[in-house]
Amino acid sequence: MEASSTKVAIEQIAERITDAVMEHRLPPGIKLVEEKLASAFGVSRTKIRQALTLLAQEGLVTLHPNRGAFVKRPTAAEARDLFATRRLVEPEIVRNVIKRACSEDLAKLRVHLKEEAEARSLGDRRRIIRLSGQFHMLLAQVSGNSFIEKLMGELCPLTCLIIALFDEPQTPACPEDEHSQIVEAIAQRDEVRAIKLMLHHLEHIERELHLDSPTERDIHWEALYG
């Protein structure tokens, strides 16, 4: 029981840090100081170290001997490779969702779309960014392929890092209405249209990035815990 509780605590810490990355509250390249994290989460440095190791395995954190842990700072080449990978994987996700999704799954997707619309109406950019990434992760979950779900759980936070580095501060993470168009095509079981919309969506996001001129974000530590 104790080991199980420890595992949950470590995963929760990792999830909180991931959420902060997806909301652009932790910028690419920032150092993750164990003492500050331990104090903020009210846990030991050992648990923080284990959480950071988990995130390093997922590619979100880079560990440097004698220097510590840093949020990964993707290169432009890595950004292009990531989007190339997503263009290979996400059509398969769409196919599987169309084959396997039940009415409850479609309802979950529509609830998520309402949350995105609410965030947009409030102008809550951080929440929009996080929800946009989570939409693609939710699709992977609904697809029923645990391997693809795990992969998307790694690719979506990295995508958010890439957006933090390479897009304009006021540009939406995902263009408005494109998610809803994808869901409606899925609901109609129109595989050709749904895949076409997904590929257009991914290309649209990548096209908006300035991969030759990364922009630094001035984001403070305290935002992670507020």
CATH code (residue 105): 1.20.120.530
At residue 174, the pLDDT reads 62
At residue 134, the pLDDT reads 94
112 and 54 co-located in one domain: no
pLDDT at 7 over 70: no
107 and 174 co-located in one domain: yes
88 and 51 co-located in one domain: no
- Give the chain's largest Cα–Cα span: 55
At 81-125, the pLDDT tens digits run 999 999 999 999 999 999 999 999 999 999 999 999 999 999 888
34 and 85 co-located in one domain: no
Between the alpha carbon of residue 48 and those of residues 5, 17, 43, 55, 134, the distances in Å are: 15, 10, 7, 11, 24
Give this prediction's pTM.
Answer: 0.83
Percent of the chain at pLDDT > 70 equals 87
Q: What's the CA angle centered on 24, arms 216 and 210, to 5 degrees? A: 45
pLDDT at 225 over 70: no
- How many domains, the chain? 2
At residue 125, the pLDDT reads 85
201 and 176 co-located in one domain: yes
Give the structural domain span for 184. Answer: 76-208
Least confident interval from 28-32, 50-54, 135-139, 218-222:
218-222
At residue 193, the pLDDT reads 98
68 and 86 co-located in one domain: no
85 and 197 co-located in one domain: yes
81 and 66 co-located in one domain: no
56 and 89 co-located in one domain: no
105 and 33 co-located in one domain: no
45 and 30 co-located in one domain: yes
154's tokens:
């790694």
At 146-192, the pLDDT tens digits run 999 999 999 999 999 998 888 865 555 566 789 999 999 999 999 99
At residue 170, the pLDDT reads 56
180 and 97 co-located in one domain: yes
CATH code (residue 50): 1.10.10.10
Least confident interval from 32-46, 101-115, 208-222:
208-222
146's tokens:
């645990």
